[in-house]
Amino acid sequence: MRNLLIFITKYNAFFLFLIFELSSIIIYVKYNSFQKASVINSSNEVTGRLYTQINGLYDYLSLKEVNDSLARENARLRNQQKSSFYIDTIARHKINDTVFKTQYEYIDAKVINNSTNHSYNYITINRGSKDGITVGMGVISGAGIVGKVINVTQHLANVQSMLNKDTRFSVMLANNREIGYIRWGDDLDPTKGMLMDVTNNAQPKLGEMVVTSGYSLFPQGIPVGRITNLHPKGGGISLNMEVTFSVDFSKLQYVDVVDYKFAKEQEGLEALQKKDD
Amino acid sequence: MIRTIIINVLRFIVLVFIQVFLLKNITLYNLSTPYLYILFILLLPFETPNILLFPLAFILGLTIDAFYDTPGLHAAACVILALVRVMFINITVQKEGFDNEPEPTLSIMGFRWFFTYILVLTLFHHFFLFNLEVFNLSDIQFTLSRIVLSTLFTVFLILISGLLFYRRKERK
């Protein structure tokens, strides 16, 4: 027993190393597979508040870009005034119509934390469960799709960015409506994504728009990006293409969270089908 | 003693702030990302007991993780860094003969020792950090180039900060 104690004190560095290394690996493995539903992330109170304050400072630095994007957004809105169904200036916007039932609602939010240079990027926004945000909602910006809500607190929410190796969304080619899915590219470039699993019958062209398919969280036709390379490495049974995102993720400032009203219904229905299989 | 504690607490806060609000936004060509915050562990006094060194490294890592949304990743890399630090100092530094709690700074230890020290330790830290983050050996070439270039960037920043706080008269 005494020899053991002497042994442990002599090599204390190694044992301390073992203890702390094991605990951090356990934390790492545990909280990264469980969708980050942990205390240690940026939607918790302290880090969230700090980010909000520092973000106030960053805002001044990018006023010009924000102005430009707002002007562009304004022009776009004026073009589609009649059907401007969803864009709103206040937190929520509802249309009471007896013929049309609101299918998508949009909640505007501001990005208070964002990264583009890791393998798994996340965005924190300043709206939470109090504003009606729940886990699983899609997030878009004026220019295109941004990501998906994965974690919500009262005032803040965590968004799994498009720039995340786990992110996949159902999309289609704008012209001939061939569907596939989009994921982030392999070389961590924040402007490039990969469009996967398009059938060989599709005849995509360089520069063609890629838009959302409407099969999942987003309404149909939200832009995703443009095809910039038809023959990246890989592929085989189906076509793969390189897509340049229409959203500039490094300058993301304001986003809209999409509340798909029938999400629960669709999920329930599709779960039934799975049970039958 | 009290002075050392205050200086180190201040250093902890300042380095975390710089890392999280400034360096987090910096990446050169998607390859080179600086992690200056490890300077806190590098600059702890030689006589820091192991029982304090490892928890400090762990806490520093967790603090950075809280802002980077990667629970455990930086903590693991920092604890490895602490072990390498202990071994490196055991091999290269004669512990006796120092008075008034010396720190492994550029001004006390001289350029050659300090440069080897930060280069080796930064390489170890970045190697484990990037490999743990990617967790995949298929892109090893890309990961390795990221490690080397990030190490260069970090070492560069550490040297600059070492020169900024250079005090000639402390040199022995």
Query: DSSP letters of B1-42?
Result: -HHHHHHHHHHHHHHHHHHHHTGGG--BTTTB---GGGHHHH
So what's the architecture of A45-164+250-263 in CATH?
Beta Barrel (2.40)
> For tokens 């006094």, what's the residue?
B45
pLDDT digits (tens, 9 = 90+) for A72-94: 787 677 666 554 454 444 455 55
Mean pLDDT for B40-68 is 88
- CB-CB contact of A111 with A252 (8 Å): yes
Chain A interface includes B149 (CB < 8 A)? no
Q: What is the pLDDT of residue A54?
A: 83
How far apart CA B136 and CA B149 sit, in angstroms, is 19
Q: Look at the alpha carbons of A57, A63, A64, A70 in this order and tell me if their dihedral is positive or negative.
A: positive
Alpha carbon separation from B156 to A75, B39, B89, B107, B152 (Å, rounded): 46, 12, 21, 16, 6
What is the domain partition of chain B in residue ranges?
2-170
Length of chain A counted residue by residue: 277
pLDDT digits (tens, 9 = 90+) for A107-130: 888 888 888 888 888 898 888 888
Q: What is the pLDDT of residue A34?
A: 52
What is the domain partition of chain A in residue ranges?
45-164+250-263, 169-247
Q: Which range is least confidently modeled, A225-234, B28-37, B79-88, B156-165? A: A225-234
pLDDT digits (tens, 9 = 90+) for A19-54: 888 888 888 877 765 545 555 555 667 777 788 888
**CATH number attached to the domain at A169-247:** 2.40.10.350
Q: What value, to the nearest 5°, has the Cα angle with vertex B11 and ends B6 and B14?
A: 125
Mean pLDDT for B83-99 is 77
What percent of chain B stands above pLDDT 70?
A: 92
Q: Is A20 within 8 Å of B33 when comparing Cβ atoms?
A: no
Residues of chain B with C-beta less than 8 angstroms from the C-beta of A24:
58, 61-62, 72-73, 75-76, 79
Q: What is the pLDDT of residue A87?
A: 44
Q: Is A13 within 8 Å of B27 when comparing Cβ atoms?
A: no
Task: Note if the pTM is more than 0.90.
Answer: no
Burial of A182 (0-12, 13-18, 19+ CB in 10 A): buried
| Domains A45-164+250-263 and A169-247 agree in fold | yes
Instruction: Tell me the shortest Cα–Cα distance from A15 to chain B, in angstroms.
Output: 10
By Cβ distance, the residue of A31, A122, A190 closest to B72 is A31
Residue B122: pLDDT above 90?
Answer: yes
